[in-house]
Amino acid sequence: MRREEVVDISTAVVDEDGWGPLSGLPGHPLMWVLIASELAVFGLALLGYAGARLHDPIAFAAAQDHLDRLAGVINTAVLLTSGFFAALAVDARARGRRGAARLRLTLAAALGVVFLVVKSVEYSRDLAQGFDIDSGGFFTIYFLITGFHALHVVLGIIILAIVLRFDSPGNYETGASFWHMVDLVWIVIFPCLYLLR
Amino acid sequence: MGNTGRLLRTWAMLMSLSLAFAIVADATRPTRLSHVALLLVGVVAVLKARLVLADYLGLRATPTALAGFSTAVVAIIALVVLSFEFPVSLFARQ
């Protein structure tokens, strides 16, 4: 006699929050959808860069020589330290230490402003040397990718400011997740645009 | 204190790997990177990304998600690094 197995789909497939496997991730599940989308966008942009470089590697290498690598290294350190403070802020808020959490998140946002200042100085030097978004394939892609990333840093600072105003532990996790995504994207962008040649 | 100590260790490792990047950047500025240097830059980038995913983003507690996001990052960096190994003559404009 065949035995029928009865499976309750409502509990087997979808958890009670309705987010499936995303429910186990820190912060709001929708933020993880956004993080995955952003990684895909920046990943495709970098693959586009790699493809364009293959058509004219000599011109790309010559243009790349004009980039300020020291500024890129400084900005990497600034973002990584900012991410460190954001992670510390989430930890402090989870322990109920609201004052410490606010101070750390403020430091994270302040370092985001430092990143933008360094990037602005770098852009102004590029422009002073006569390189802008129309200065050949490399600089078009460079300004598009790094400019789009800088826009995410601005958005991240706004999100961190909102979290400081509405400072629940969940909001800390969600806001910090976006901030770390910005960090992660820079970690991938920097070697691809500045170092690989 | 345990979580703070782990985050501090992660930050120190990330900064050390970034310093390695800076040295590579300074040492290789005028020339094309060798195959080993290309691989090294790619591996260091992947290591840094994995540290951010695991400890800053907190995916160490969800190994499946960590593996998924890590694979995506590895794929992006590997494809870009590999593009530097393609014979340029196949793609150059005539």
pLDDT value at residue B25: 64
pLDDT value of position B89: 56
Q: What is the mean pLDDT of residues B27-35?
A: 71
Mean pLDDT for back-to-back runs of 10 residues, chain A (197 residues): 45 56 81 91 94 89 88 94 96 94 97 97 94 90 96 97 94 94 95 88
Contact (CB<8Å) A84/B7? yes
Domain residue ranges in chain A: 72-197
3-state helix, strand, coil in chain B (%, to 5): 80, 0, 20
Interval B63-80: pLDDT, tens: 999 999 999 999 999 999
- Which residues on chain B are in Cβ contact (under 8 Å) with A77? 15, 18
DSSP string, A128-167: HTT--TTSHHHHHHHHHHHHHHHHHHHHHHHHHHHHHHS-
Residue B87 has pLDDT above 70, yes or no: no
**Cα→Cα distances A179→A20, A82, A96, A123, A130, Å:** 24, 9, 21, 22, 32
- At A14 the pLDDT is 44
**pLDDT score, position A145:** 96
**How far is A35 from A30, CA to CA, in rounded Å?**
9
pTM reported for the whole predicted model: 0.87
Report the residue from A43, A84, A87 with minimal CB separation from B76.
A43
pLDDT level of residue B91 (50, 70, 90 thresholds) = low
Of A51, A80, A88, the CB nearest to B14: A80
The confidence score (pLDDT) of residue A12 equals 43
Cβ of B42 within 8 Å of Cβ of A194? The answer is: no
CA–CA separation, B17 and B48 (whole Å): 7
pLDDT value at B3 more than 90: no
| Residues B55-62, mean pLDDT to the nearest whole number | 91
- The pLDDT tens digits of the residues spanning A98-115 come to 999 999 999 999 999 999
Percent with pLDDT over 70 in chain B: 82
- At residue A45, the pLDDT reads 95
Nearest CA-CA distance, residue B13 and chain A, Å:
10
Q: For the domain A72-197, what is the CATH superfamily, name and number? A: Cytochrome c oxidase, subunit III, four-helix bundle (1.20.120.80)
